[in-house]
Structure 1
Amino acid sequence: MTSRKRDLLIDTAQLLFYQQGFRATGIDTILASSGVAKKTLYNHFKSKEELIVACLRRRDQQLLALLKDKIEQFTPQQQCELEFAPIMAFFDGLDEWINSSAFFGCMFINASAEYHSQDHPVHLACNEHKEAVRQLIQQQLNGLALKDPLNLAKQLAMLADGAIVAAHTCNDATAAKRAKQMAYILLKQSL
């Protein structure tokens, strides 16, 4: 069972970590922004890294929910999109997020860059998220007569990550739209 203070700490830390970076954001900044006492923080989290992992897990839930919602609500705008509607919707969800005021790059790419040791709990949480995204993509491929759906899901996930990086580092607001076009080509070639 979670408490309101725990949720407040996660919400506050998540926003600060996302906007300012993980190592650059200190516990004192999180406490000052949240108004929560240090003792309360350490009652819920043993370390800053444990708080980071909690924030990443929350972000994972939020981002996957956004993408799943977009997939469920997809209305094809072109006839060619009907055939691959779920994947087209996935990239539309990515485009919506990238072009929102709440976009500061990928929290998971940022965290894994700061915590690069592959056995670190923060890095592991990032890897779990990327695997969950790949699985979401692969689920959307079910029912299509594809040559190698696992490999295609990995390619599409890589394409999505590339769009996120291009949008963030190059201020490319059209990155997800172009990734969607490339995804369509990959899908057609994989039949």
Structure 2
Amino acid sequence: MNESGTVRDRILLTSMKLFYVQGIKSTGINQIIDESRVAKASFYNHFHSKRDLIKECVIEYDKIIKNQMVSVVMESVSFQDFVRKWVIVIKGDLQIVYRGCPIAESCFQLDSDDSDLMKLMQEIIYGWENLVAQFLNKMVKNDLLPVTMDIAKVSKRMVHLYEGAATMRRITNDDSYIDDLEYLMARMLE
């Protein structure tokens, strides 16, 4: 997806930026149309409602995060290396406008009664846990982690710690929550 790409891509990129920086509820369709430089009819040809657009943005946020995670998984040679690289990615994100995890930011603004969107959010988190679990399985197979490790529990806790650190950093604007992440994740092996 690029900014000068298709109408749909321009709408998605503009929406992702605005939803992340301003918030979903503070961003209107007319602003998205104006800043995307598209006609209203073109907008509605691609997205029938704001909800449809939000869903597509959440899917795109997930793709970005998963690509980062896959890169960390592929490049890491040990648990400590994995955790260190994950924290480096997060700290890299701090160099731009950082409002926390875009999935969490979106989820906090959605109607919790929208079972389809809430199910999508859960599937995204389970996908992240599965990526972490794949890495942990690889480490167990290479005799770098104990075979007795409860991989499902550890991967869930790692995602939990990531989301908690990202949320606390967002609330307090204190980078120490991200700094502590490496220490806390490493403690799970003790």
1:32 corresponds, among 18, 31, 34, to 34
- 2:59 equivalent in structure 1: 57
- TM-score, normalization by structure 1: 0.84
> What is the CA–CA distance in structure 2 between the aligned matches of 1:140 and 1:56, rounded to whole Å?
24
- TM-score, normalization by structure 2: 0.85
2:123 corresponds, among 103, 115, 128, to 128
> What is the CA–CA distance in structure 2 between the aligned matches of 1:114 and 1:176, rounded to whole Å?
23
Task: Return 61-70 or 47-56, whichever deviates more.
Answer: 61-70
- CA change 1:180–1:43 in 2 (3 A) is same
> What is the CA–CA distance in structure 1 between the aligned matches of 2:118 and 2:38, rounded to whole Å?
27
Segments of 4+ moved more than 6 angstroms: none
Q: Offset at 1:74?
A: 4.8
Residues 155-166 of structure 1: matches in 2 within 5 Å?
A: 155-166=157-168
- 1:23 equivalent in structure 2: 25
Structure 2 residue ranges without an equivalent (≥5): none
- 2:8 equivalent in structure 1: 6
> What is the CA–CA distance in structure 2 between the aligned matches of 1:105 and 1:33, rounded to whole Å?
23
Q: Offset at 1:122?
A: 3.1
- 1:114 equivalent in structure 2: 109
Alpha-carbon RMSD? 2.0
- CA change 1:105–1:157 in 2 (3 A) is same
Structure 1 residue ranges without an equivalent (≥5): 76-81
- CA change 1:89–1:71 in 2 (3 A) is farther
- 1:139 equivalent in structure 2: 134
- CA change 1:45–1:83 in 2 (3 A) is closer
Q: Offset at 1:63?
A: 1.5
> What is the CA–CA distance in structure 2 between the aligned matches of 1:118 and 1:70, rounded to whole Å?
34
> Which residue identity is paired with 1:115?
L
2:81 counterpart of 1:85: yes
> What is the CA–CA distance in structure 2 between the aligned matches of 1:148 and 1:138, rounded to whole Å?
10
